[in-house]
Amino acid sequence: MFKKKALVLPGALLCALTLAALPALAVPAGGERANIAQRQSDRSQALMAAQRGLDEYQQRKQQYYAGLSPSHMALDVSDVQELSQARIGPGFEMHTVSPQELAAGRSDLSTMATPTGSWRFVVQVGERPVGLVTVQKTEGRWQAVSFGGAGLARELDALRQVHGNADGSNLRFIRVYQAQSDLLEVVSGKDGRARYATLQSARDALLRHGLATGSADASAGLMEAPQLLDPLRSAVSKNLDMLR
C-alpha cells in the first residue's frame, strides 16, 4: 500500500487562492465606499498575516517539538508531520455587543453588533478543521496573536455547511464577552432577516439565565433575537455585578 502525499502549496500561492475564495463585499453608493474599501483591505491583510503566522508556527514546532506528543500542540493534530499539512481556511471578522447597548433596551441585535478589530481564520488539514488563528492589528501591522480553539472551529465549520450561502457572506460571528457567549448570525437569503445559532459557550452560559433549551445539532433551527436578548442581558448584568 502506498500513502498519497498531501499537496502543500507555498504560503504565498495558498494565500492568493484563499483570498480569491473569500466573499466579496457589496459596494453601496456614497460615503460607505471608503469604509467597504478599508474593510476589504483589512480582510486581505489579515489573511496574509494568518498565513505568515501559520508558517512561523509550523516552523517553530518542526524545529523544537518534533518528538513531542499532540498535547503540546495548540491545534488538533496528531504530530508535526500532520501539522505541516495544515492550511488557512475560511476567515471571519469578530463582532461584539457592548453592555451599554444591551442595557439600552434595543431589540435589533444585528445593528448592535460592531467589529472588534480582530479576525479569526480556520486552520484545516484537508477539509478537517483543527483550530483557529486569531489575527490583530498591532502598531499598524497585522499579525497572528494566538492559535487554538479546535472545538469552536469544528462548531463553526458545521454551522457554515448548514446555514452558509455559497461564499459564507451571510454569516457573522458575534462574541458577547461579558456574557461569555458566542453566536453565529445567519441572514436569510429569502427574507433578509437575521437569526442566530447559539454556540456551545452560549448554551452553557445562557441556559441558567432563561435561554430555552435547544439542540447542539448544527441543522437545528435558528433563534430569533428576542429569544436571546433577555438571557444575554441577565448574564451580562450578573457577570458585571461579580466584578464590582
The pLDDT confidence band at residue 30, using thresholds 50, 70 and 90, is low
What is the structure's pLDDT at 34? 72
What is the structure's pLDDT at 21? 44
What is the structure's pLDDT at 7? 39
Q: What is the DSSP string of the chain?
A: --PPPP----HHHHHHHHHHHSPPPP--STTHHHHHHHHHHHHHHHHHHHHHHHHHHHHHHHHH-TTS-GGG-SSS-SSHHHHTTEEEEEEEEEEE--HHHHHTT---HHHH-EEEEEEEEEEEETTEEEEEEEEEEETTEEEEEEEE-HHHHHHHHHHHHHH--TTSTTEEEEEEGGGTEEEEEEE-TTT--EEEEEPHHHHHHHGGGTPPP----TTSPPB-HHHHHHHHHHHHHHHHHHH-
What is the structure's pLDDT at 63? 84
State percent of the chain over pLDDT 90.
66
User: Of 196, 228, 199, 179, whose CA–CA distance to 120 is shortest?
Assistant: 199
Model-wide pTM > 0.85: no
Joined grid coordinates for residue 86: 495544515
3-class secondary structure per residue, 11-58: HHHHHHHHHHHCCCCCCCCCCHHHHHHHHHHHHHHHHHHHHHHHHHHH
The residue extents of the domains of the chain are 11-243
In the numeric block, the cell 494568518 is attached to 50
Judged by average pLDDT, the poorest of 28-32, 92-96, 187-191, 235-239 is 28-32
For 177-200, what is the mean pLDDT? 96
Q: Say if CB 216 and CB 207 are below 8 A apart.
A: no
For 155-172, what is the mean pLDDT? 94
Q: Say if CB 123 and CB 58 are below 8 A apart.
A: no
- pLDDT digit string, tens, across residues 54-63: 999 999 988 8
The pairing of beta strand 171-176 with beta strand 86-96: parallel
Q: Say if CB 133 and CB 51 are below 8 A apart.
A: no
For 26-43, what is the mean pLDDT? 70
For 152-181, what is the mean pLDDT? 95
**153, pLDDT greater than 90:** yes
